[in-house]
Structure 1
């Protein structure tokens, strides 16, 4: 089983003692998209967390389908329904100001989960629950740099360019690269988080005759796509090091089989629990942390069994 992260929270007894009727709690949740492996884990974990409350907490999920306008409309609908709190996994981390202003004006607690808004100067009544993407990039690149002996060529598979997870994970990678002048970035393109897109990009690089010693991917799905392209091209497993992020079930299996060199586990349950717990604290006017950080964890062949479901 994956290690579970304990996020500091108030005991259930405090929630009940405050006089809150949990059976009446309705939380609107707008996800950037349902069709994403990691975000599916996050959504399912939020549902699981809600079910742990004896009196029940209702979560109303909406799929923004990667559409900023649709997501804002969903938040406005939640406000008109007078939900008790709103949780948002933002489509575009640079376009959250209108969501924030709308929720604050309505006096409804707002929690951003998994992706922090670019504008981190958030007002009272707004909280974030996420992981430090800079750290994920640093962790994967440091491990690769050690394996590469500080020299060689790499390619970088970027996620969605509208997402600061992409920006920050890549910044973390480059912060480590600054210490290793012998490692060069040959290519850097977006696979928009998708396995098939990353497979196509990697295949194109191979066809162009580009030589690289490692693939640094912003997520597991793209890392797996790169591994598939390398296998299809007849390149021996392990010759090119491949690093992902998220520690999804497929990612963990790929590390176990040696298709990926490493992944960096992003704790979906930790983020889910933190977002629901923070929402309930805010609803009950109890003390809460405005920024909850859930640590990343390195997954390699040495410890991969710990992360298997």
Structure 2
């Protein structure tokens, strides 16, 4: 299924009637993150299509306390709903409590809070991160011929996406006893830190046959370091990413990445706003919406261009 079908699906499921004077506060974990910046832009574009709906964006800048203050300000300003992309998925209970105490609908997007159950009045729109890791690793394992040394490049350790994508990778590895994890460190979702980390791994002299990165930005950084070391990503060292945004697609095209997994940040952006609107209007809604991941390789990357 192509990503356009997902967008149409959300449009069909969540087409709100005209609303007037609706204000929604949106706290994004870190706007200098490429994926999250795109998601914010998709939110803004969707809101422009909804008469009377206004979004107020705040950048938490990776700071849990800053994000909590932003949510408290939203409730003090009597926002009609709040959308939060959490900085730390293990530190969302106070956000949830504040929104519930104020009686304001709350939607978490992209990063699901760690608590097992979300209370009434709290929703979530995102994707099954474990599936992303499984799809990525299954493809890499096949291309590795079921054997070799694997390095896992982690995102922020405070993020459940990091934990779950890595869990997915390791679930697949249970079926491949001849693939050995020789490195596992965080590059915090950042391309520059991934370059430094990959370079350190190369300099250490430890043989690495493939890199499974939790996100495309880190995978691209790893591929750049491999190239700078005089090797060829995709041949000397296989590199897999996750997210499937424009940079990841370009890296697939250039053979920097062997595989990535498309996470529909446009679908998440639209879905989070439309879920918040249904909650505001007290209409029936599904509190947790899961958007499927899709595998991207050189064979099909063109299907994902120009969303």
TM-score, normalisation: structure 2: 0.96
Counterpart secondary structure, 2:13: coil
| Aligned residues of 1:118 and 1:164 also touching (Cα < 8 A) | yes
Counterpart secondary structure, 2:242: coil
Shift of 1:2: 5.3
Shift of 1:149: 1.3
Counterpart secondary structure, 2:188: coil
What's 2:301 paired with?
304
Counterpart secondary structure, 1:86: strand
**Structure 2: how far apart are the matches of 1:4 and 1:94?**
33
2:271 to 263, 269, 274: 274
1:220 aligns with 2:224: no
**Structure 1: how far apart are the matches of 2:146 and 2:25?**
48
Q: CA RMSD in A?
A: 1.2
1:121 aligns with 2:117: yes
**Structure 2: how far apart are the matches of 1:282 and 1:89?**
18
1:102 aligns with 2:103: no
Shift of 1:11: 3.5
What's 2:191 paired with?
195
In structure 2, do the counterparts of structure 1 residues 4 and 268 end up closer, same or farther at CA, with 3 Å as the change threshold?
farther
Shift of 1:10: 4.2
Superposition map of 1:147-186 within 5 A: 147-186=143-182
Q: Which runs of 5+ in 2 are unaligned?
A: none
2:70 to 71, 74, 97: 74
Alignment size in residue pairs: 301
**Structure 1: how far apart are the matches of 2:189 and 2:298?**
23
2:205 to 206, 209, 222: 209
Counterpart secondary structure, 2:56: strand
What's 1:49 paired with?
46
1:24 aligns with 2:21: yes
Q: Which runs of 5+ in 1 are unaligned?
A: 17-21
| CA displacement, residues 62-110 of structure 1 (integer Å, 9 cap, x when unaligned) | 0001000000000000000000000000000000000001101111000
1:248 aligns with 2:245: yes
Shift of 1:308: 1.6
What's 1:3 paired with?
4
**Structure 2: how far apart are the matches of 1:11 and 1:257?**
38
1:40 aligns with 2:37: yes
1:134 to 126, 130, 137: 130
| Aligned residues of 2:14 and 2:275 also touching (Cα < 8 A) | no
**Structure 1: how far apart are the matches of 2:154 and 2:251?**
19
1:93 aligns with 2:86: no
| CA displacement, residues 91-133 of structure 1 (integer Å, 9 cap, x when unaligned) | 0000000000110111100000000000031110000001000
Question: Runs of 4 or more off by more than 6 Å in structure 1?
Answer: none
TM-score, normalisation: structure 1: 0.95
Shift of 1:46: 0.5
| CA displacement, residues 181-209 of structure 1 (integer Å, 9 cap, x when unaligned) | 00000100000000010100110111111
In structure 2, do the counterparts of structure 1 residues 223 and 10 end up closer, same or farther at CA, with 3 Å as the change threshold?
closer
What's 2:289 paired with?
292
Counterpart secondary structure, 1:211: coil
What's 1:19 paired with?
none
